[in-house]
Amino acid sequence: MGKLEQQLRQKQTQTPQQIMQATVLQKTVADLEETILEELENNPVLEQEDSDENQEPETQANEEDEMDWNEEIDDYEPMYSAPKSTETRDLPVPERPDFVTGLLKQIEMLGMVDTELTVAKDIIWNLDERGYLSGDPLLLADKFGITESKLEHILGMIHQLEPKGLGARDLRECLLVQLDKEKDTLAYKVLKNQFDDFANHRYEKIEKSLSCSEKELAAAIERISNLNPSPGEGQQITKDETVIPDVIVEKRDDEWCIITNDNWIPELRISDTYKSLVKQKDQNDETKRFIRKKMDSAEWFIEALHKRRETLIRVTAAILQRQPEFFRGNINTILPMKLQDIADDISMDVSTISRATRGKYVDTPYGVFELKSFFSESIELKSGEEISNKIIKFELQQLIESEDKTHPLTDEAITDYLTEKGFPVARRTVAKYRGQLKIPTARLRRQLTH
């Protein structure tokens, strides 16, 4: 007879209110209007305030007082709350849809149930720059209170999205997803069964293990080389496109002022009509339950909008504190900074910081920048000092731009140059940074000059 056991396990799951806040936070300012209109349409309890309607004569007579109040708001320099901007900025939305928004539209067409859709959207919003799954899958399953097999099912659905390979946990899985319809091919078998040998160029061992010829393996490797190892890269809005900043940072009287660019957002409230309906004794219990449910949802949505504003301000303020050189005008000087650093500074979860910075832009006196661009890995110099890898990327880019195009520098030569300047990096690191900067190899750079 089987033995019965009791196990005590702590699981952290998100409440509907927390899910609402996370959903609203991850919206860009360009997407927020559509979200608000959808909520107003779907929830009859929620309504938009209109200060111009039903305004009493006495209120109109106090117009001077209102102007004084607006002046006070305009002078306020917030750090942890977000007044609305009083300025109108005419910045058009990019013509092509945002990458993440496009993925969300794709996922909604796969016929998922609501619980699966919530998890899938959370995963999509937290894909890293390469398009890979960020975070531990087990922690993600616990977060939403689902089984590991359910999470695997949801990931399988995400793997169906275009471009293929999104939501993978590592390079091997990313490439295998792209060959999902070619499982009988040698290329798939190499990745599935001999990936370590493939990555380390042990081709003779692969030929022996899979009983294939050198010519057959060469064709398989050619097929693999045409796959995309980073399906998320290059999908974000480029620097040449116009974007709407979510946050505006301005200097007023030698003090930084942080403002959320959401002055157009209407004030929302819960309808007085429904408030009175739920109190009426002649209403049946089912109707009251429906109204209360909608009232809860409306309250959560209004709170989520305020929370989004507050979080953006707090995150931006923390970034400003950690990147003083940039905000002094030295925009090529970015100090090492991780998402976890900001999370620790303002006592928030790192996933919240990820949502608050992904796809969000800040308008500064020096231009418009993605909030994510302020984060970078650190490299330790020979002196023991830690610097941002973005400084090395800048040096690399400047070096290549000034090279003799008839004899472009190889990765080895660039490595030697950077090492001499006090940046101890390996050749493979140079190749990685060069690839991230979209700079071709020396051979191709020489060919491009003719």
Per-residue pLDDT of 326-380, as tens digits, reads 888 887 777 888 888 899 999 998 888 888 888 889 999 888 888 888 887 766 6
End-to-end CA distance of the chain: 81
Q: Which residue has the tokens 């790192």?
A: 350
Asked, for residue 71, whether it belongs to a domain, the answer is: no
Give the phi and the psi of residue 185 in degrees, each rounded to 5: -85, 160
Q: Please tell me whether residues 266 and 355 are part of one structural domain.
A: yes
Domain total in the chain: 4
- The answer to whether residue 386 is domain-embedded is yes
Q: Count helices and strands (H / E) in the chain.
A: 21, 8
For residue 406, how many other CB atoms are within 10 A of its CB?
A: 8
Query: What number is the average pLDDT over the span 427-445?
Result: 79
Residue 42 contacts by C-beta under 8 Å, 6 or more apart in sequence?
A: none
Report yes or no on 129 lying in a domain: yes
Contact between 142 and 149 under an 8 Å Cβ cutoff? The reply is no
More confident residue, 207 or 91: 207
- Asked whether residue 39 is domain-assigned, the answer is yes
- Closest residue by Cα to residue 121 from 231, 37, 19, 233: 19
Nearest to 320 by CA among 308, 332, 335: 335
Percent of the chain's residues with pLDDT above 90: 16
| Residues 220 and 283 placed together within one structural domain of the fold | no
Domain containing residue 147: CATH number: 1.10.10.1330
> 296 by DSSP, 3-state: which?
helix
Residues 218 and 366 grouped into a single domain? no
Question: Which residue among 336, 359, 376 closes a domain?
Answer: 376
429 and 339 housed in the same domain: no
pTM (predicted TM-score): 0.55
Q: What is the pLDDT of residue 313?
A: 94
Q: Is the pLDDT of residue 3 over 60?
A: no
Same domain membership, residue 254 and residue 350? yes
Are residues 260 and 341 both part of a single domain?
yes
Q: State the amino acid at position 168 in one-letter form.
A: A
Which CATH number characterizes residue 441's domain?
1.10.10.60
The answer to whether position 18 is within a domain reads yes
Domain boundary among 376, 400, 432: 376
Q: Quick check: is 329 in a domain?
A: yes
Which of 376, 392, 413 corresponds to the end of one domain? 376
Of 82-96, 117-131, 363-377, the range with the lowest mean pLDDT is 82-96
Residue found under tokens 């309250």: 299
Q: In this structure, is residue 339 part of a structural domain?
A: yes
CA distances from 233 to 131, 237, 399 (A): 7, 11, 24
How far is the C-alpha of 209 from the C-alpha of 191, rounded, in Å?
A: 13
Within a domain: residue 63?
no
Rounded to the nearest 10 degrees, the angle between the axes of helix 214-225 and helix 186-193 is 80
* Same-domain pairing of 222 and 328: no
Residues 362 and 436 placed together within one structural domain of the fold:
no
Q: What angle separates helix 137-144 from helix 148-158, to the nearest 10 degrees?
A: 110
Is the same domain home to 24 and 154?
Answer: no
Q: Which domain holds residue 17?
A: 13-49+77-97+237-376
Report the alpha-carbon angle 204-210-211, nearest 5.
Answer: 80
In angstroms, the CA 408 to CA 402 distance is: 10
Do both 248 and 369 map to the same domain? Answer: yes
Do 122 and 173 fall within a single domain? yes
- pLDDT for 385 equals 63
Half-sphere exposure (CA, 13 Å, Cβ side) for 400?
Answer: 25
Are 185 and 283 in the same domain? Answer: no
